[in-house]
Amino acid sequence: MPSDPSSSENTSPINFEENIKGKVLYTTVLIYLLYNAFFLVYNGLYTNQYNNSILQAVFFILSLGLLIPVTKKKYGLSKFLIFLFLNLQIFLTSMYVLPGRGAEYFYLLIIVLFIILGNNPLQLYLLITLDIFLFLAPQFFVHPYPIENYSYVNIIALTIAIVISLRYFIIIQDRYKELLKTQRLKLEKLNVEKNDLMSIVAHDLKTPLAQIEGLISILELESDKLSNEQKELMRKIKGLADNHKNQITGYLKNQSIEESIEKAGLSDVNLNKTILQVINEMAPLAKAKSIEVKHICDSKNILIHGIEEGLYKVFSNLLSNAIKYSEPNKKVVIDVKSDQKQVLVTVQDRGPGFKENDLENVFKKHQVLSAVPTNNEPSSGIGLYIVKRYIDRMSGWIWLESKEGEGSTFYIKLPRA
C-alpha cells in the first residue's frame, strides 16, 4: 500500500504535536530494543554475568513486544509499557544484578523522556517523585557511595534543577497551546465575517445584473429595429451578464456547501450501500462511454461514522471524474478494504493522469488543472476541494497517486463506526 500522508495533510497543531511525540516514542523503542540486543550478545559472549544475561534476555523480548503497540499507533499503551519496563529494568539492575555500577542514573533519562512525551502534569510530578526515590534507593538500601562522588548537595541541586525545568516546560507548553487556541478562534471569527460580507456583496450584485438582463430582454423584443452591429454588441453584453451571474450563483452555492459541511452531523452510514447507489446512478454515464465500473469489497456491511450526504457526494464526484476523464472501453475500479478500526477505499481509473505540478493543487479551490475530460464534459473546478472538505470533516484522509498518461488512483481512509 502506498505511503499515507495523513500525518502532513490534515493536521491541527495538537495533532502535529502528537505525531512528533509518536516519532520520538518510536525512536525510543528502537533504541531500547537495540540496547538490550547489544548487551544480550555482549554479556553472552564476553562476560560471565549470567544473571545480567537472563535479565537482558527477558527485557529484549519485552522491548521487541513494544514494537506491536507503537507501530499500531497505540501511543498511550506504548508510553505506559516503556516507562514500566525501563523503571523495572533499572530497578532490578541497580538494586540486585549490578549494584554500585551507576545504573540508577538512567532514571534521570526517564524523567527527561517523560517530560517530552507526557501530557498530564500530575502524572509527570508523580513519576518524577517515584524516579527520584528509586534513584536514591541504592544509596540508602544497598551500597552507600563515597561522599565525594555522591553528596546530598548534588542530589538536592539536581532535584531542584529538574523540578524548575519541568515547571518552565509545562508553563511554556500551556502558553503556546493557549496562543494557538486564541489565534484559531480569531481566524475562525474573521473567516465567518469575511464569508458574511462576501455573501452580502454577491447578493447585492445580483440586483444590477437582473436589471441588465431585463433591459436586454426588452431590446430583444425590438431586435428587428437594431443593426447587426448593435445585435452583436447586445449578444456580448448578454454573454458577460450571464457569465457574471453564473459566477455569483456558483459562489453562493459554494458558500452554502461550506456551511452545510460544517453544520452536518455524524452518524453511522453503510459505506458499500452508498458506493453501490452512486455506481447505479452513474451507470448511464459509464454505459455511454462503454466503461466498466468494478466494485471490490471484503465486507458488504461496513459502517462508517460519517456524513451520509457527504459520502454520497465524495464518491459521486470521484466516480464521475473517473468516467469523464477515461477514454471509452476502459475500466474504473473501486476497491474497499477494512480492518477493525478503519477503511481504505481506492478509486482507480486509466485516464490521462495528472502532471507533476497538478498534484499539489488538486484539492485546492478553483484550480485549473491540465487534464481535460475526454468528451469535453463540463467541470466546475471545485469538486475535489469539496471532496477533501467532507473527508476532513469525517476525520479521514484523502491522497492521490498519478502518472501522466497512466491514470490516477485516489486513496480514502476513514474511521469505522
DSSP state at residue 160: H
Closest listed residue to residue 352, CA positions, set 403, 409, 291 = 403
User: Where among 228, 244, 263 does a domain terminate?
Assistant: 263
Is residue 25 within 8 A of residue 117, CB to CB? The reply is yes
Q: Which helix (H) or strand (E) holds 342?
A: strand 342-349
Q: Tell me the three cell numbers of residue 184.
A: 484559531
User: Could you say which DSSP state residue 298 is in?
Assistant: S
252 — pLDDT class (breaks 50, 70, 90): low
Both 91 and 24 in one domain: the answer is yes
CA 242, CA 245: separation in Å to the nearest integer? 5
- Note whether residue 217 is domain-resident: yes
pLDDT beyond 50 at 214: yes
Tell me, what's the pLDDT at 381?
Answer: 62
Which residue range forms the structural domain that includes residue 405?
267-415
CB neighbours of 49 closer than 8 A, spacing ≥ 6? 43, 97, 98
Three-state secondary structure call for residue 134:
helix
Locate cell 468528451: which residue?
Answer: 375
**Whether residue 322 sits in one domain with residue 381:** yes
Q: How many domains does the chain have?
A: 3
Q: Work out the number of other CB atoms within 10 angstroms of the CB of residue 267.
A: 12
Q: Which of 263, 286, 312 is the last residue of a domain?
A: 263
pLDDT number for residue 295 = 92
| Nearest C-alpha neighbor of 111 from the set 93, 129, 85, 91 | 129
Same domain? For 302 and 218 the reply is no
Distance CA 63, CA 29 (A): 7
| Cross-strand pairs, 336 | 297, 345
Cβ-based burial of 180 (10 A; exposed 0-12, middle 13-18, buried ≥19) = middle
Predicted local distance difference test score (pLDDT) of residue 9: 42
pLDDT digits (tens, 9 = 90+) for 130-140: 887 887 787 77
Mode of pairing for the β-strands spanning 331-338 and 397-403? unpaired
Do 196 and 108 sit in the same domain of this protein? no
CB count in 10 Å sphere of residue 135:
21
Reading the block at residue 265, the C-alpha cell is: 452531523
245 and 233, same structural domain?
A: yes
- In three-state secondary structure terms, 329 is coil
Q: Are residues 44 and 65 in the same domain?
A: yes
In a domain, 309, yes or no: yes
C-alpha to C-alpha distances, 368 to 45, 250, 357, 386, nearest whole angstrom? 66, 16, 11, 15
- Residues 257, 195: contact at Cβ < 8 Å? no
Beta-bridge partners for 267: 306
DSSP code for 371: -
Q: Work out the pLDDT band at 178, boundaries 50, 70, 90.
A: confident
Alpha carbon distance 286, 349 (integer Å)? 12
CA-based nearest residue to 309, from 264, 369, 365: 264
Whether the per-residue pLDDT at 154 is higher than 70: the answer is no
Give yes or no: residues 302 and 349 share one domain.
yes
Looking at the domain assignment, is residue 304 inside a domain?
Answer: yes
In this predicted model, what pLDDT tens digit does every residue of 253-295 receive, in sequence order?
Answer: 666 666 677 777 788 999 999 999 999 988 888 888 899 999 9
Lowest mean pLDDT among 146-160, 232-246, 276-290: 146-160
400 touches 359 (CB < 8 A): yes
Q: What is residue 297's DSSP assignment?
A: E
The answer to whether 321 and 375 have CB atoms below 8 angstroms apart is: no
Residue 159 lies in a domain: no
Note whether 104 and 87 are within 8 A (CB): no
Whether 65 and 198 share a structural domain: no
| Confidence label for 116 from pLDDT (cuts 50, 70 and 90) | confident
Residue 14 is assigned to a structural domain of this protein: yes
**Percentage of the chain modeled with pLDDT above 70:** 77
- 75 vs 332, higher pLDDT: 332
